[in-house]
Structure 1
Amino acid sequence: MNASSCDVAIVGGGIIGLSCALYLREAGHDVVVVERNDPASGASRGNAGALAFAEILPLASPRIIRKAVRWLFDPLGPLSLPPAYLPRIAPWLLRLWRASWPSHYRANIQAQVALIGLAEREMLAMLARTGLERHLGTEGVLEVYEGAERFAAARETARQRRAHGIESHPVQGAELAELQPGLAPRFTHGMLVPRWRNVDDPQALAVDIGLRAQALGARLLRREVRAVEPAAAGARLLLDDGTALQARRVVIAAGAWSHQLSRPLGDPIPLETERGYNTTLPPDALDLRRQITFSDHGFVVSPLACGIRVGGAVELGGLERPPDYRRAQAMLDKAKAFLPALRTEGGEQWMGFRPSLPDSLPVIGRARRHPDIFYAFGHGHLGLTQSAATARLIRDLIGGQPTAIDPAPYRPERFF
């Protein structure tokens, strides 16, 4: 399509941008989504399909910081950092460490609880009103542990979840074997979290949300945004073909690339890139009853319509470093050891970029100097989970309505 002006321009056609498009179009705004690639072809394509409504604990936690020194320099471990990238990421790591201090950690949990609660309400309501409930699974997630000692440590996570109304059910023995037959004997304990939800195909869901927005009149412009420039009335998007799109309001939801657009606007958001890896095996690779999380190993195995997906872990390596698919293979080898019946032939490897902020909270709110420009990025592992909540907040802010929750913890000002 060709467009020269609109009410709201959304930069980014991933799950966040497409959800914002749907919510804003439902509210009557003239919306253009500007995306350089196919919609939902980035991180929205390769995630594990989790609606992680129980995931309230930030990555920046005392528990993770204690493990990080051991993990960081293992190139195939759950959290790795190429040594050559250390000087560049050092300021971000310092912010991560500060975010793990007890007072900051507690505040970030409260902010995450509020956003996750809104995410659950909004996602379920959005799926119902759009007729997309067919994508939703309700089997929960099974977290598994090796031995009583490791399981005892997991009980602290369960205790914190329970304090916020999220129940977890401990299982072992025959009950664990029934929940997932064929699990290796080394995994003696588990925690079933029923409130967790999954979708059958995260890319298909995101594409369908975009199609619903388009059916309501939203437009898709296949271009790359080179810059966002404030204008007398709103802002202009400078596009890769030399043209410009004038908008009364702009939403920057470009995932791991968003900070490249926010920095010239006076907001150098400390966004880093978690490079996630996975392998998607054929659907018949395993009789997998629900998503399984191998918490101490940093990866999950998920049953999706497109196949069995083995993925996770974190590589802090930026946007330019070539993929290291040994990480995907290492997780696949572990999955085979943990689930011996898993057939590992015929898989497709993938690497994608998760936009991560050091306090594990996204940026949702106005640019500090430009009230017609809004940010909606930095969701880390929780982009799918928090997509509808983010869209609701952006809709409220752009419409000048009272917001569903207090937006203060997610504003860009917290970093300055």
Structure 2
Amino acid sequence: MRDGTSVASNSEPANEGLRPSPSLGAPSPRERGEAENIVIVGAGIIGICAAAYLAEAGRSVMLIDRTGICEETSSGNAAAFAFSDVLPLAQKGMIRQLPKWLADPLGPLAIPPGYLPKLLPWLIRFWRAGSPRNYEASLAAQASLMKLAEAEWMGLMERSGTRKMLREDGSLELYESEAEFSASLPGWSARGRFGIAFRHVAGGELAELQPGLSPRFVKGTFVPGWKTVADPKLLGKAVWGHAEAHGAKFVQGDVGLVMRSKDQVVVQLRGGRTIMAQHLVVAAGAWSHLLARQLGERIPLETERGYNTTLPRTAFVVKRQLIFSGHGFVITPLDTGLRVGGAVELAGLRRPPNFARSRAMLEKAKQFLPGLDPSGGREWMGFRPSLPDSLPVIGRSQAADNMVYAFGHGHLGLTQAAATGRLIRDLVVGQSPAIDLAPFSPQRF
């Protein structure tokens, strides 16, 4: 059964083609609308965590989203706290596998031919990001953010009463040949340099970690520190409840325009409402670069469209998240079902979803887990906001110090959300950031 997409994929991308209306000028709060301390655009997990941290700090926070709290891309992800996933995508063997993957329209990576010309500048940046001279800097930056992310998530879950939603079962990455396993070893060695624990397994230990696996898998790597959550949508809503208890409020609306007005920010909704703010946080996921463009910055964000199917919990007994890196997808046991999903389709915001990709992953899952019941599933597609160097944008806009960006986390939005919330709070309240933000600067491009 099809369950739709995380956003209406045929709708006009938010903010595109808008220009300031003559009436905006430099309105005062009394003349044009409410005066807010902080407005956050985007109620995905990044915006939710930013709201929680700022509300905890006693700030007046308004969170704006066109659909609701954790209703779009953050609602349907693979539910992982992937704190050990420090390798940028360009440096995880993707460049080497691109020709093979692109030859399969339903494989781990797809690019519609008609979209390739628009995507080419991003792909060139992606290729450059994978060069050896960029490797260590990207790896160190990602590792520092991941270390902060784990500490901040554990603290936020305690404060928000959501620790009971955490699963600490580790993950199991699987290999179908000795050659595939050997190709993974440099990446594991790099992780080991940053203190990430793992062990390679085979035979009986592999079968014990996940009973019922196909014998095609000859080895695996178990990561004990890998964590998942009961359901990402439920977690997001619960963290929002914590922010709301500290005074944060939500407004449903489609942001059409943001602009600076003297020392304030004008936020205009498409329905006509205008809100004045002292600070603006842009956390609108795959639509964020369109808002940044209104502020004079061109940030090379691209949309990775991810697909999944969530099966009933009875489909198969999966003990922990299973990672099929050679096929670009994972299987995650949730409280609300068994989620089979991943892969990458670089196709922008406008194209309709291709749910044949969900079905292709499900077919593979049936081969990998003989006995899996594929019936009763809900198909889904979401937009991952991705930057070519696999690092998010976290920092101030060049337009004004009271405008900050928090987007571009790619596959790691859930994982890095609490760290990003902490860093956004640091920037807004004028504290020294917990880590060096230079690698995440919006101006690095």
Q: TM-score interval w.r.t. the shorter chain?
A: over 0.9
Q: Look up the match of 2:292.
A: 262
In structure 1, the partner of 2:425 is 395
Unaligned 5+ residue runs, structure 1?
A: none
Q: 1:365·1:411 contact (CA, 8 Å) conserved in 2?
A: yes
Aligned partner of 2:120 in structure 1 is 90
Deviation at 1:243, TM superposition (A): 1.5
Corresponding residue of 1:234:
264
Alignment correspondent of 1:339: 369
The reply to whether residue 289 of structure 1 matches residue 289 of structure 2 is no
Shift of 1:229: 0.8
Match of 1:191 among 195, 218, 221: 221
- Asked if the contact 2:306/2:382 (under 8 Å) is kept, the reply is yes
Give the residue type in structure 2 aligned to 1:386.
Q
CA distance in 2, matches of 1:183, 1:149: 19
* Residues 247-284 of structure 1: CA deviation (Å, up to 9, x unaligned): 00000000000011001211111000000000000011
Please give the alpha-carbon distance, in whole angstroms, between the structure 2 residues aligned to 1:124 and 1:19: 13
Residue in 1 that maps onto 2:12: none
**Which amino acid is 1:207 matched to?**
K
Indicate the residue corresponding to 2:22 in structure 1.
Answer: none
Pairing 1:102-113 to 2, within 5 Å after superposition:
102-113=132-143
Please list every run of 5 or more consecutive structure 2 residues that lacks an aligned counterpart in the other structure: 1-32
Counterparts of 1:257 and 1:61, CA distance in 2: 26
1:99 alignment counterpart: 129
Q: Which amino acid in 2 is paired with 1:74?
A: D
1:57 has 2:87 as partner: yes
- Describe how 1:1-400 pairs up with structure 2 within 5 A: 4-61=34-91, 63-400=93-430
The alpha-carbon deviation at position 313 of structure 1 amounts to 0.3
Distance 1:125 1:181 in 2: 34
Q: How far apart, in 1, do the equivalents of 2:113 and 2:352 lie?
A: 14
Q: Deviation per CA, 1:106-145, whole angstroms, max 9, x where unpaired?
A: 2111110110110011001111122110110000000010
After TM superposition, give the deviation of residue 62 of structure 1 in Å: 6.6
Q: Deviations over 1:154-186 (max 9, x none)?
A: 222211111110011111101111111110000
Does the 8 Å CA contact 1:73/1:81 hold for their aligned counterparts? no
Counterpart of 2:81 in structure 1: which amino acid?
L
Q: Secondary structure at the match of 1:23?
A: helix
Q: Is the 8 A contact 2:286 2:384 kept in 1?
A: yes
Decide whether the 8 Å contact of 2:160 with 2:238 is kept in 1.
Answer: no
SS of match in other structure, 2:326: helix
- Aligned-residue sequence identity (percent) comes to 52
Letter in 2 for 1:235: V
Distance in 2 separating the partners of 1:241 and 1:42: 20
2:203 aligned partner, one-letter code: G
**SS of the residue aligned with 1:221?**
strand
Q: What does the per-residue CA deviation read over 1:366-390, in whole Å, with 9 as the maximum and x for residues that have no partner?
A: 0012111100000000000000000
Tell me the CA shift for residue 81 of structure 1: 0.4
Judge conservation of contact 1:17–1:33 (CA < 8 Å) in 2: yes
**8 Å Cα contact 2:58-2:246 kept in structure 1:** no
1:60/1:105 contact within 8 Å kept: no
**TM value normalised by structure 2:** 0.92
Say whether the 8 Å CA contact 1:62–1:101 is kept in structure 2: no
> How far apart are the structure 1 equivalents of 2:294 and 2:99?
34
What residue identity is the alignment partner of 2:181?
F
Name the stretch that deviates more: 30-39 or 67-76: 67-76
Contact map agreement 1:234 1:373 (CA 8 A) in 2: no
Question: 2-side partners of 1:34 and 1:149: how far apart?
Answer: 49
CA distance in structure 1 between the partners assigned to 2:119 and 2:325 by the alignment: 25
Equivalent position SS for 1:296: coil
| Alpha-carbon distance between aligned partners in 1 of 2:199 and 2:131, rounded to the nearest angstrom | 29
Return the alpha-carbon distance in structure 1 between the equivalents of residues 92 and 380 of structure 2: 30
Q: What secondary structure does 1:227 align onto?
A: strand
Q: 1:227-259, CA deviations, whole angstroms, 9 ceiling, x for partnerless residues? A: 111111220101011121100000000000001
Partner SS, residue 189 of structure 2: helix
Aligned-residue RMSD, C-alpha: 1.1
What is the CA–CA distance in structure 2 between the aligned matches of 1:331 and 1:341, rounded to whole Å? 15
Partner amino acid, structure 1, of 2:420 = T
Distance across 2 between alignment mates of 1:14 and 1:149: 39
Residue type of the alignment partner of 1:136: L
Deviates more, 1:275-284 or 1:238-247: 238-247
2-structure distance, mates of 1:29, 1:373: 16
**Alpha-carbon shift at residue 73 of structure 1 (Å):** 4.2
